[in-house]
Amino acid sequence: MKIIIIGAVAAGTSAAAKARRNSEDAEITVYEKDRFISYSGCGMPYFLGGEVARAEELTPRDPAFFRDKYNVDIRTEHEVLSVLPETKTATIKNLKTGDVFTDSYDKLVIATGARAVTPPIAGRELKHVFTLRGIGDMLRIEAFLEEQKPKSAAIVGTGFIGLEMCENLMRRGIRVTLLEKLPQVTPGLDADVAVYVEEHLKSKGASVLTGVSITRITERAVELADGTNIEADFVLLSTGVRPNTDLAQAAGIRLGTTGAIQVNERMETNLPDVFACGDCIEQFHVVTGKPVYRPLGSTANKTGRIAGDCMTGGSLAYRGTLGTGIFRVMGLDVGQTGLTEREAKAEGYDTVVCHNIKPAKPEYLGGKEIVIKAIADRMSGRLLGAQVVGPEGVDKRVDVFATAISFGAKAEDLFYLDLAYAPPFSTTKDPVMYTGMILDNAIRAQRPLMQAEELIARQESGEDITVIDARVTAQYDKAHVDAAVNIPHAQLRDAVDSLDRDAVVVTYCNKGTTGNAAQNILINRGFKRVYNLSGGMNQYKMALKYLKKS
């Protein structure tokens, strides 16, 4: 069997390695138009910030490695110009010599990846304006930073790469301004979680401007539509990626609804013996089953392995994506998996949402708080998604949520997980377990939650709502929910008879636990419509910040 693979980064090299493991007889050739292969793209911001000492650490494998270990021929600086499925041939150009030649295949893999999106901003061609997608980009940026020593930077876009670059440029002593056209940073998060990220960025000295549009880039500034000039000796355009599909389209390979290559669970395209994998393909979502485009390094490796297996007679099959991701920005870890509340509602789910604020481990061992927002389906109880932010323990919780969602867990199942516990690592009831308890109480035990933005909206509409602050008086005096009355938890039983049992009542504390205890008292005393404020006063204060902006 003769195999041609187009692309030699994560997906292409994974496909080659798995194909070789399945077959010693296959002739495997990989064409890559870049000089670098199989590199760690996610590590590039950390090289630019000095945390990774040498660029070579991100490119540990070269064509010789694959030739010696896998007997795979990787030809760098070779661009595939066209593919003819009718004759099973490809036309290739050697970019070093200019020679053009034809090669044939029995099986073909398209692993052409994705490219950075550059918005049509005047001045984007200037020498101090960059994108960061490959090792070549990284080396050009490093050379510029070393030679020009910029004092100020503007980063357009606040996704993973934009925020990781913010951290690493600031490590170099560069002033950073983040520019985002949406009203929040981290567009992949819900606004009530993204606000934590924005507040953290500001606390660490980054300038953050949301809801802005850019008119043009000049030699020393970025000009906004309102006429404001943002000083910038260095500009990074971090506004997303687009799948490289031109070659596939020209060959008659079908694209999906997301604009990426359509494949089945075996990575097969609509053409016989033609497979595709990595950042150029469309995936399907584990929860909804619908097509999505989630270009992630972990997914690229996974789909590459499946392609390599299936084209050599294997039976691996893709099981979908949750879009699980995590990043760190100046000491804050931010992770997510599954559907956001926004996405779940768009899909028609009757959502139940909680904000769980708990220490990642006991406070007596220095545990710091993490914020978990989790979404479940009210009808089935199924867990749909989770977002977690905090200075520690975020990765562990996101991975547990991702595993649970992958296997169709319900909110109630989280409480029964037998998670590892010892004080250096977790609390006795892990925050994941608490999240399950809160959601299950809201779904099955008629202990409903009210989101801060809903409470604010209903109050602003003039609705008569009794809001009970169950904290001690000193905390109430410091700050409290609008129109709240202070009835500390210890005094609530004595005050029950003075309250209207038919009124809509919202109880709250700082984070939600004492508010739930107050809610239980009222429900058990015959109150019919009692809600606990999700995330308590802490989440309410954050809601005021992002609602004021929007």
Residues recognised as catalytic: 42
- Number of neighbouring beta carbons within 10 Å of residue 220: 13
CA dist 99 → 77, 91, 96 (Å): 12, 11, 8
Residue 419 corresponds to which tokens in the numbers above? 């998670």
Contact 347, 375 (CB under 8 A): no
Provide DSSP, 331-394.
TEEEEEEE--HHHHHHTT--EEEEEEEEESS-GGGT--EEEEEEEEETTT-BEEEEEEEESSSH
Report d(CA 90, CA 81) in Å as an integer.
7
Report d(CA 422, CA 54) in Å as an integer.
37
Sequence-separated (6 or more) residues with CB below 8 Å from residue 417: 400, 404, 430, 432, 433, 436
Cα dihedral value 360, 363, 365, 368, nearest 10: 40
DSSP code of 405? H
Selection from 441, 482, 439 nearest residue 459 by Cα = 482
Q: Which residue has the tokens 């950390």?
A: 46
Geometric angle at alpha carbon 541, from 540 and 542, rounded to 5°: 90
Report d(CA 376, CA 384) in Å as an integer.
5
- β 234-237/129-130 pair status: parallel
SS3 537: helix
- Number of neighbouring beta carbons within 10 Å of residue 154: 25
State the amino acid at position 94 in one-letter form: N
First-residue to last-residue Cα distance in the chain: 59
Provide DSSP, 114-127.
EEE-----BTTTST
H-type alpha helices, 59-174:
63-70, 135-148, 160-171
Contact 105, 88 (CB under 8 A): yes
Helix (H) or strand (E) holding 396: helix 394-406
